[in-house]
Chains A and B, each alone.
Chain A
Amino acid sequence: MNPLDFIRAHAPFNLLPAEALEQVERGLEIAFFPENSKVLARHGSKSQHLYMIRKGTARLERDGQTMMYLEEGEVFGYPSLISQDTPAFDVIAEEDLLIYRWSERVFRELMSHRPFAEFFTKGLAARLRLVTRQEGLEVTPIDLSLPVSDLVTRPPVFIARDATVQEAAKAMREHQISSILVEGNPLGILTDRDLRNRVLAEGKGPQTPLADVMSSPAKTLPASTPLFEALTFMVHQGIHHLPLEQDGRIVGVVTDTVFMRQQARSPLHLLRRLERTRNPEDLKGYSQELSGIAESLLAGGLGASEIGRSVSSLNDHLVRTLLRLAEERLGPPPTPYAWIVFGSEGRMEQALLTDQDNALVYAEETPEAQRYFAGLAGYVVGGLIQAGFPPCPGGYMATRWCKPIAEWQRLFQHWVKMPTPQELLEAQIFFDFRSVYGELSLEPLERIVASSGEESIFLAHLAKASLHFRPPIGFFRQIREEDGGVDIKKGGIAPIVSLARVHALEAGSLAKSTVERLKIAAQENKLSPEGAETLIEAFGFLMKIRLRQQLTNLRQELPPDNKIRLEQLSSLERRHLKEAFLQIREMQEAMGQRFHTDRLG
């Protein structure tokens, strides 16, 4: 490989425009550092160059202690260049080093290119965003995280409340619109469909007062709502026109045809399909459609957490559909109940098909209730398997976890008051529970969870359980691969999830999503704001590369798993994975000290 091809293949040079590569070539110097020689000295003279390793490994040392290894394609020397301070580490050739380097002058010239400059100047959090932005998958069809008001193309059209349907129809023809807003409080709306279904089909005449057939109050959303949330809302409400509101006035109307046009594989289509489902048999192929949607949301530029929320709310819909069907078959429940989900489903962080994690809580224990809910749980769990959700290997399914609320209360009390390490390791995901369907209030359980932060032994055990999985970082700060890959669920996602859980419970919060938990922990001073931000960004990054990997697996008809092969990541992603792991490890250590987990048996 010639030097330019090598340089161009590695960050941050891959962020430079083609015309800047000539500067890179003109400024390129090549140096050889034999094994054990010092490239930069801590507290020595400041770095004169930006360095990139072409061949060999360099070691960062502080007081003779190895802090980190740098490998082929990695850059160093820039913190000192930027800050004009002396280097913070000794940089030593672990083995013979062939080094590419650029003088400070060339470096400064290249820094005029923003993406290149951002690589050096932003903190970890911002750098992770940079990776996901630069190396996102396909071209973006529509960015679903944008405010829904971006789809508004014209100002809203109003008509007086005392008008007739004919006048309304004329105004709609004149403005070429499929719906019209009706003045007054509350706001009303009349649509093409209303003219057909409520006027013509009912044999009403043109002089019918508008107020008789309009919908009022019209359902509205704030104009700043993200597109995908508006989308979910419309399907949920069964509406086709959505007025948007800003500062107390309506700024425009979006229609579902706009969404359909923008997105071939919209969650709308799958929701429609669920609404038509009459039999669990109809659910075959649900999982494929779901991954198709996740793929198009990813291509739409959504972050992993938005996609997780979208996927989870679709799955909630699926569960509700199945429960309604089950109730139709088995008759009304003998006592109120709640269907709960926990784990990633509870946190609304589902990527693709994950194992089922569900349970059933019912009000009163009777033999009849036992029989009824066993049947109900069996029906729904079976339906979920039909839809493509594998049964949970640990057996956390409503078929087994089906108990009256009093018993659930005892269980949660037991976990909080008399925790044992092994039990908590398994039970911690129950603290992410969320009710998906049913009348029964779970307030008694929520009260226990909300006050669990006062139990220091419980928190310490939970903290210890959260240290069960460690980032696969070796003694010398290199990423360790096992069986040809890195398990980023065990090594990254699970540690962040459990760190967030501990801190949120400590803060007495009932928040379920990892991002929300971290934010609350920072607000309540359980975690530094920088620490929380770093974990949030790392979490988004890990979730995204996992989702991408799983979609790739599915396309190749392989089961989705959590293994990431390092060679499939770009060098920039590899570097960020390493930094994310290092950050997690640091936070885990801090947590261990804070809760004195070493003093627990």
Chain B
Amino acid sequence: MIWPLRKSPTWNEINYWALDLETSGLEPSDQILSVGMVPIRGGVIEFGAHYYSLVRPVRPQALSVEGIQAHHILPSELEAAPPLAQVLDEITQRIGRDVLVLHYGSIDLGFLRQGYKALGRRWVRPVVVDTAVLLARLGERQRQLEPHSKPYPSGLRAARARLGLPPHLEHHALWDALATAELFLALRHRLQARTLHQLI
């Protein structure tokens, strides 16, 4: 771990980046089309420092109609976008030693790792807080108190609604990343997590 010699820091001493990727699909053969990142510093989302970019696909001919219907990114918009190598640089530079906040992180992490490897770069898995995992934890805790209570929904939109957060524009990397960041703040409070350790 990064903090081997001292006890885990308080949650809001850490800087986080909520991140979301839009991809052409969920298969390993699919490609990253856009990325959105929103930093959380001192427990507050600094929206002004967000990063959002489209990604020029390596194989534009492989984009599916279903994908376009879901994320509304048109192939023509992608032509002028920076290539993945450049976007990954931007991502790496921002994350540094910060913690990633993802919703169902294994998917996004899989695409990131694949992207790094395809470009022949070394992949260092960052510390990740997964809001889907936090939701499951919250659900579990609730079931211990009330065995027959309704489980927490795991989808981003439904989970936010359950926690009283407003609807957001879905299937857009930036707004999904922001939605994840807000969900993270709400969940952190519900779980009464004080240290980073309690969140990962």
Contacts and interface: CB of A to CB of B under 8 A. Distances in A.
A98 interface: yes
B189 interface: yes
B45 A31 contact: yes
Contact of B182 (A1, A29, A95, A98): A98
B54 interface: no
Contacts of B165: 55, 98
Interface in A17-73: 25-32, 34, 54-56
Contact of B168 (A1, A29, A34, A95): A1
A32 B182 CA distance: 7
A185 interface: no
B164 A55 contact: yes
Nearest to B183: A32
A332 interface: no
A444 interface: no
B182 A30 contact: yes
A101 to B, nearest CB: 8
Interface residues of B, number: 20
B80 interface: no
A96 B182 CA distance: 12
Contacts of B44: 29-31
Contacts of B82: none
Contacts of B178: 3, 30
A297 B79 CA distance: 55
Contacts of B189: 32, 34, 96
Given A3-B47, A28-B47, A29-B44, A56 B186 contact: no
Contact of B163 (A29, A54, A96): A96
B166 A95 contact: no
A112 interface: no
A568 interface: no
A242 to B, nearest CB: 59
A29 B46 contact: yes
Which of A25, A26, A30, A96 has most B Cβ within 10 Å? A30
A9 to B, nearest CB: 13
Interface string A355-373: 0000000000000000000
Nearest to A102: B48
B43 interface: yes
A56 B47 CA distance: 20
A25 B167 contact: no
A2 interface: yes
A1 B166 contact: yes
Contacts of A28: 47-48
Interface string B38-52: 000001111110000
A32 B168 CA distance: 16
B185 interface: yes
5 contacts: A30-B45, A30-B182, A32-B182, A32-B189, A55-B165
Contacts of A32: 182, 185-186, 189
B11 interface: no
B175 interface: yes
A27 B48 CA distance: 5
B110 to A, nearest CB: 28
A56 B164 contact: yes
A30 B165 CA distance: 12
Contacts of B65: none
A54 B167 CA distance: 11
B169 interface: yes
Interface string B46-64: 1110000000000000000
B102 interface: no
A558 B43 CA distance: 53
B166 A54 contact: yes
A282 B46 CA distance: 69
A56 B45 CA distance: 18
B166 A25 contact: no
A1 B186 contact: no
Interface string B162-197: 011111110000010010011001100100000000
